[in-house]
Structure 1
Amino acid sequence: MPYQRSGDTNTANLIGLCRRHHRTKHTPGWHFHLTDTGSLHITTPTGHTYKSP
């Protein structure tokens, strides 16, 4: 859960993004989800989902 919504501030809750992708994360329609296993799922405004290994 993001810090702005009472999320924890610890290394397990971090996503290392460059400035461009960090700003994209806050753009309407984009969704970034970090799973319990550390996999990052990104959903675009068109509905495509990308998963990190």
Structure 2
Amino acid sequence: MTTVTSMKCACEPCLCNISISDAVQKDGKYYCSDACANGHTDRTGCGHHGCGC
């Protein structure tokens, strides 16, 4: 059996790969930041270098 420790952020346009242990979890999904987890309601991106979500 394989254990998943990292994955792509659940925010569709986001390019970030995240460690599950460091992720923001919301509704059973994993996100790289609060901005992504909240659907970018404040019109900001995730803030990670190289990502334009």
Task: Work out whether the TM-score is over 0.5.
Answer: no
TM score, norm. by length of structure 2: 0.24
TM score, norm. by length of structure 1: 0.24
Between structures 1 and 2, the one with greater helix share: 1
